[in-house]
Structure formats: structure tokens, C-alpha cells
Structure 1
């Protein structure tokens, strides 16, 4: 397997980290390419990468922990906390609808639209440092279907979840995730990093623009919020999965990973913020954005985790596919 991964990494010019462990024993941990191409800083297995939508699962767990505390309920309506904000969100949209991508709300970042990963979609990206700052982006998008009618992947729904969690708890989204997910999980290398002041151990995200590879700093919010973008390491993802299934973050875990929606076009199912294998207990988090690609899969039956994370948009997928079919 190591030789096969190495060859595929060379063939695809992969930049990132591949990690496999079984029951806590590392079987493969390799780094490839550069974290910073301008200064020729290589990626290492300890490099921190943005994982785009991979952190939707962390948002879901922060929200679910508030449900456990009674600050929210799965049937809490968004309107009860939004007040007059975002008036196009239907009155019957609930926390559970948002967690399962079945809210039907219009999306500020609509993945069904004809968009390129290189498009500039964030407007004044440098101003997006708080969840409340997203309100103008979230507003003005008509409902796409009735709440609960079907699955429709919605980035904006998870920003709304972050907003609801803040208003229900009185704590900012970033601190909520730190206190309710990262710390109980023991994820010491995971945090919300500003894209315009990345520390030396974080990878710059790259995408092809004007015939060269450029940083993604103008393509993403300067600071991640509920729909994705936290920075983490492959090792921390293994730490996360073990803590999650041990019940160290929230309980009951079974409620989070219980299939709520079938997604046949993706050959998957969906729980509360987590992708699920169509027939087994395997759970997944994935992310794709400008200068970021990520997939981390955990099989709770064998305790096996594999994570592929890259600081380019297409980088993770060839190796992720090979690990899935291998």
C-alpha cells in the first residue's frame, strides 16, 4: 500500500498528507509537496491544513452538545432565534432540517450552480471574521423547496446553524467549537486560523490562476465559520474519531450517525453533519474548496481511520479513491 500511495502521489503531483491507522496504530503517515511554494517549505505529517466542509461535522457536534444541554432542540425553529433577520428562511425550518441539509433554504454558495473553483465568491473576504458578518451574504436567497421535502446540500445552512448556536448560548461560534469539540476531543493541533496570518506550521492553499498557482487568500473567508474551513492535521483527525466514538464529545453518538437522509446521487447517506456509507457503519467527513481538498473516513467496527488532506483543490481525490477501492 505504501508503494502504491507513493507512486500515485508522484503521478498526480500530490501535495498534502496521507494517514492510515488501525486501532490507534499508525500504518502509513506520509507527507508530499510544499506547504509554502514561494519559500519551498515542505509539507510534513504535522502540517496543518484547511479542510473546507470537513469541519461541518464540528459545527454539528457543537450544536448537538447545546441540544444535550437544553439550550437548543432539534425541533427549535430557526425563526425563533433569527427574529427579523433572513426573512426568506421559512418559519418551519428547524435545527434538524439544517443539520441534515433538508431545510430547503437558498444557499449563498450554491453547489448546484455553474461555478468554477477559481471563481471569486466571497466579496470582501477580509471582513468575514464573525458569523454575524455573514448575514448580508446569507440574505436574499429564495427558498428552493419545502423544509423536510428532500436532501439538498446547503453551505449557508451551516452558517445559519453557527448563528443559531451563538444566539442560543451567548458564546461565539469559534469558542463554542473549541470548548465543546476540540478540547474534549484532545485536538491540540486544530484551530481557526486567519488566512492572512497563517503560522509557519500551516499550509497555504493553492489553485491555478492566470497560468500559475496562487494562494487562495482572496477566495475564502479570512476566518472560517460554520460551513467549513478549520485547520487541522491528519493525526488530529484520528484523535477526533477515537474521541467521538468513545463518547468524549457528545452523547449519544448513535443519534449523530443515525442515517437521516439517503443521498443516492452520492452513493451515501447522511446523519447530523456527517456523511455515512450506504450500507456499513463507516462515517466520513469531506471538504472541497479553493485550495483545499480533504476526506477522512472512520470504520468504528475495526477502528480504522484513513485521512487524505491536500492544499490544492483536486489533490486529495485520486488517493482517496484508491484507498476506498483498495
Structure 2
């Protein structure tokens, strides 16, 4: 299996110039480990297995776990209403929005970046410079006074703003910045020693710059394309090994009890009318009414990320890229090989 996967990954890399790191583990045994491209193109510093990558929305699951930890401790419930747990004005929001609605993207609230209305994430920063976005509160003016997008609970509609609100709830109940809480109570517990929420204008060593390839053959970094620091809707940096450690810790109930791990990983809402579902911060694929995989994905300018846990075979895949595209094709090749 190892040579089959690696040969296919090498073919795909030649086709689309994939830049990043790939790790596949099965029952704690490393099956494939591969790195391509540069973490720093100007200095020609290569990507390695220890390189840290931004994972965009791939870290919404960290936010969901932080909320589940609060519920587990009895500080709130999944049915607690937003108006009961956060002292922030949302004048046009439905008063019956609950934690569950926010976790499952079924609240109907407006998003600060709505893919139905914007094609380019960089459009956000024309009127609100990205270098001013350094805390969760900084996002509120982008959406808090807007009207509901659809009725509460009507449907699934992916929403970043809902996870900003969840992060603010974590901050209120934990009395510390959201990112500090996750680093201390999730990353450290999971053995994610090299991961963190780093600021783009002060990245630590062994961290890949995100790159945007332009139509004319030139390129630029993503430093002017994203908020300076990630938060509860996305933007953490991880290594592929740290991400594998995370999955292992999660499924072995080291971050939540078995009861709340099961609640987190329950398929609550259909995302595509077929075999796709969403739990709390995690995508779920079912085949014949059995879970085939739990998976995460993240896309930003200069970032593409996919990672999954396949429960039937205890397989973990992690694909981190410092380009805007490429991770999906790598993931597909891995899945084709492990399901042969």
C-alpha cells in the first residue's frame, strides 16, 4: 500500500505542483510520509514533516471541543440560548438561537464572509484592513447588525460568524483569550507540541508562508489576504504529526469523555442531501448508514487542508498545503488506495 500511495502522490505533485506535507497512519503505524515544495520560496527553504501550516477552517473542530468541554462541566448546555450566555447585541437575530444551532451551521445568522455574495476573501479587507483583526471582538462589526439570512433551523448553511460567536462564549466562561484556552486545554492535552495560533506578521521558525500563484506566473504571500491572527472560525497552524496526534487523542477520549465525544461526532444535519453530514465542527460521511470517515477541511488564500479519520480501519490522513489548492487531490488519491 505504501508504494502505491506514494507513487500516486508523486504523480499528482508533478501535475499540479503540490506544495506541502502528507502523512498517513494506520493503527499508529506510519504508512506514508511525504513533503513537497517550499515553505519559503524566496530562500528556497523546503517543506518538511515538521513544517507548520495554516489550516483555515480545519480548526472549527477545536472550537466545538472547547464548547463541549464547557457543557461537560455543566457550565451551559447545547440548548442554552445565545441571548442567555453572551452579553453582545445582535438586534436582528432570532432570540431562540441555541449553541446547537451555532455548532451545526443551522442558526440562519448572517456571515461576515458569505460565499453566495463574495467570490474573493480579500474583498473583506477593503474597508476593514486585515491588520486590525487581532481578536474575536474585531469581527463583530462585520455581521452583528445584519438581518437573518434564513429562518432558524431551516437548513444547513456553512457559517464562519457562528463560530466567532462560539469563541466569544468560550472566552466569557473561561476568562481568557480563546486561542490561549485551545492551546492549553486541547493542543497540550493532545500532544500537539508544535501547533498554535500564530500571528502572520510574527511567524515562528519552521512555519510555511502561504502562497498565491497569479495568472501571469508571479506569486505573492497571503499576509495581506487573511486576518493577522486566527481564532475560533479558523487560522491555527499545525504540523501533520500534531494533527495525527489530535485525531488519536480525540477518538480515545482524551479530550472529552466517551459520552461527549459521541455527541461531538453525531451526524446532526445533512449537508448535501446524500451521504454527507455535519456534527459539531466536523464533516461526516456515511455509506450504508455507517460512518465511513470523519473529516476536516480548510481553504483560504494560500492555504488548503484536508484531514480525516476512517474508523473502520483506524486510518488517519493529513494533508497540509501552503497553496490555495491541491490538498483535495492528494486526499482523493489516499482514499482510492486505502479502499482498494
Q: Does 1:112 align with 2:120?
A: no
Q: Does 1:231 align with 2:237?
A: yes
Structure 1: distance between partners of 2:158 and 2:248: 27
1:165 to partner: Cα distance: 1.4
2:279 aligns to what? 271
2:25 aligns to what? 21
The size of the alignment, in residue pairs, is 325
Structure 2: distance between partners of 1:322 and 1:2: 9
Q: Does 1:152 align with 2:160?
A: no
Q: Does 1:305 align with 2:316?
A: yes
2:332 aligns to what? 321
1:139 aligns to what? 144
1:163 aligns to what? 168
Structure 1: distance between partners of 2:142 and 2:335: 36
1:31 to partner: Cα distance: 0.4
1:121 aligned counterpart, secondary structure: helix
2:188 aligned counterpart, secondary structure: helix
CA-based RMSD of the aligned residues comes to 1.5
Task: Flag the 1:112–1:324 CA change in 2: closer, same or farther, 3 A.
Answer: farther
Maintained 8 Å contact 1:45/1:234: yes
Maintained 8 Å contact 1:86/1:135: no
Q: CA deviation digits over 1:27-81, x for unaligned, max 9? A: 1111000001111110001100000000000011011101111222111111223
Alignment TM-score, normalising by the size of structure 1:
0.95
Maintained 8 Å contact 1:30/1:45: yes
Alignment TM-score, normalising by the size of structure 2:
0.92
Q: 1:191 aligns with which of 173, 190, 196?
A: 196
Q: 2:124 aligns with which of 121, 127, 133?
A: 121
Deviates more, 1:144-153 or 1:91-100: 144-153
2:23 aligned counterpart, secondary structure: strand
Deviates more, 1:124-133 or 1:302-311: 124-133
1:54 aligned counterpart, secondary structure: helix
1:26 to partner: Cα distance: 0.4
Structure 1: distance between partners of 2:209 and 2:151: 40
2:316 aligned counterpart, secondary structure: strand
Deviates more, 1:256-265 or 1:152-161: 256-265
